[in-house]
Amino acid sequence: MTSPITAQCLILFFFFCFASNPAACFINEADLHALLSFKENILDPRGALDSWRHNETVNYCTWKGISCSRRHRTRVVSIDLDSQGLVGSLSPHLGNLSFLRRINLQNNSFHGPIPQELGRLSRLEYLKLSNNTFDGEIPRNLSQCLNLYYLNLVDNKLTGNVPSEISSLLKLKDLGLSRNNLSGTIPSFIGNFTFMRLLSLRECGFHGEIPESLVHLRNLQFLNLEKG
């Protein structure tokens, strides 16, 4: 139970906080640093991130493309910057946005590897990086995002096999890997994704036979395995 003295101290703290610097009362330093690091890696010819300026009167929860939690008001839960003409690489500091549930960076010009640090986002549910030029392998550490139900990496330049660790993502409903430069065969563990509704593996470089395990995808509504 909070004592009267403690309650009075809290009231005084918020009074002086609002009086001196209102925006600072609702800032998480880790989230702020992660967002500014993300911006530093990007060229922004259209000015989509012009609102991303740290000052004493503007809170980052009001920045374009950013949404914060209603319950934990200083914590970023969504980055949505679809089709903004952004050019650059993804900062590994995004992995410090520990409350993040949604990332949508579709249809920009991001390049380089997808950071392994995204695997630290244990709350992540939705990851849409399609129509960029990401290269390298699919990060193995995404296997730690156990709440992920949507993963769209279509239209990039990803290479290598699909990591076996991805088999842990049993909540996946939508998986898109089409039009990449992957190798190997279609992973048989995809048949364990029993919630799968959409599976798009068109022109992604796979060879060999279609695994029989796909017959277990009883909720599947869309399937594209075209080789091109």
- 125-182, pLDDT tens digit by residue? 999 999 999 999 999 999 999 999 999 999 999 999 999 999 999 999 999 999 999 9
Report pLDDT for 18. Answer: 43
What is the rounded CA–CA span in Å between residue 96 and residue 84? 23
Report pLDDT for 26. Answer: 66
Closest-CA residue to 190 (of 206, 179, 180): 206
Report pLDDT for 3. Answer: 53
- The ranges of the chain with pLDDT < 70 are 1-26, 56-57, 228
Report pLDDT for 10. Answer: 38
Domain over 28-224 is classified CATH 3.40.1550.10: no
What is the rounded CA–CA span in Å between residue 24 and residue 20? 9
What is the rounded CA–CA span in Å between residue 65 and residue 106? 13
Task: Give the type of residue at 204.
Answer: C
Report pLDDT for 227. Answer: 87
CA angle 53, 57, 62 (to 5 degrees): 60
What is the rounded CA–CA span in Å between residue 165 and residue 178? 19
What is the rounded CA–CA span in Å between residue 39 and residue 107? 17
* CA distances to 103, 115, 205 from 87, in Å: 16, 16, 26
Predicted TM-score (pTM) of this structure:
0.88
Spatial CB neighbours of 35, under 8 Å, sequence gap ≥ 6: 52, 60, 63, 66, 76, 97
In the chain, where the domains are located: 28-224
